[in-house]
Amino acid sequence: MKFLANDGISKSGQNALESNGFKVLTTTVAQEQLINFINEEQIAVLLVRSATTVRKDLIDSCPSIKIIGRGGVGMDNIDVDYARSMGKHVINTPASSSASVAELVFAHLFGAVRFLYDSNRNMPLEGDSGFNKLKKSYAKGQELRGKTLGIIGFGRIGREVAKIGLGVGMKVIASDKYVNESSVKVEFYNGQFIHVAIPSHSVESILKEADFITLHVPAQKEYVIGKKEMDMMKQGSAIINCSRGGVVDEVALIEALDSGKLAFACLDTFENEPTPAVQVLMHPKISLTPHIGAATLEAQDRIGEELAEQIISILKSNN
């Protein structure tokens, strides 16, 4: 049985599959050539990340496929319901990358409150000639301790973000359509832990109360944060989006940054991936990364291993 990991797979995941007798191809096939390749090689399991799309035409054209695996959380690049209606197994790895995404949120946040997104651009250009001017420009940073972190979307990743926020000393509040007030377990290096209750808020109260708002929601048809929502936010607050592109209105965001309503924004995902708007990329108040939330070595190992475990379980149960 042949597998195609079109967007790659960790060595540990590949080893787990191959040790069970499966052949894993890691060739990256262009989207327009994917159907022909799958049919020629009689691929039974297609593994993707965010780069490859699996739509109805591919599902209809590739009868050899039995399992479609998404290494990561969101599956908006796969026609999941249709694939399942055609008898295909569709799986993902919702738990594997949560910690990595949460740490990226705070990488952005720690950097943003001390203007690193801007100083890292300007120090190479002006550090030798305008050191004192830059020092003065970046002298009004903030501490995170004591600030309020609002989390919209309180699933696995939102909870991991909450744990770090609590560890930093922040007040953490959350809003989720499907989760009421809940408790998170904050674990420490030495095996000790505490349980902390996180109060459930409406999105409106999050917008009004939080100093920093971080989004952890699936892809949406409408903006979660648009102009109306930004108008409700505190003066000088900020938005972090390491979830999905299109949940923040980027035009309204730039207006809010230019007016001073928002102090900064942190974006790992964009409305127009893989070609984000130039206005966003060039804005001096936006901290930017190219959709790397789950891209740590540890997360990739966990993703590969979790995919392997699920696939082996499915195939064994079908025998």
The residues annotated as belonging to the active site are: 244, 273, 291
Contact 173, 151 (CB under 8 A): yes
CA 251/CA 280 separation, integer angstroms: 9
CA 198/CA 201 separation, integer angstroms: 9
| Residue 271: alpha-carbon gap to chain centroid | 13
Contact 47, 9 (CB under 8 A): yes
Q: Which two tokens stand for residue 230?
A: 């930004």
Contact 89, 314 (CB under 8 A): yes
DSSP string, 15-37: HHHHTTT-EEE-----GGGHHHH
3-state secondary structure 145-198: CCCEEEEECCCHHHHHHHHHHHHHCCEEEEECCCCCCEEEEEECCCCCEEEEEE
- DSSP bridge pairs for 186: 194
Q: Which two tokens stand for residue 125?
A: 């250009």
CA 283/CA 174 separation, integer angstroms: 29
As a 3-state breakdown, the chain gives helix, strand, coil percent values, each rounded to 5, of: 40, 20, 40
Contact 31, 53 (CB under 8 A): yes
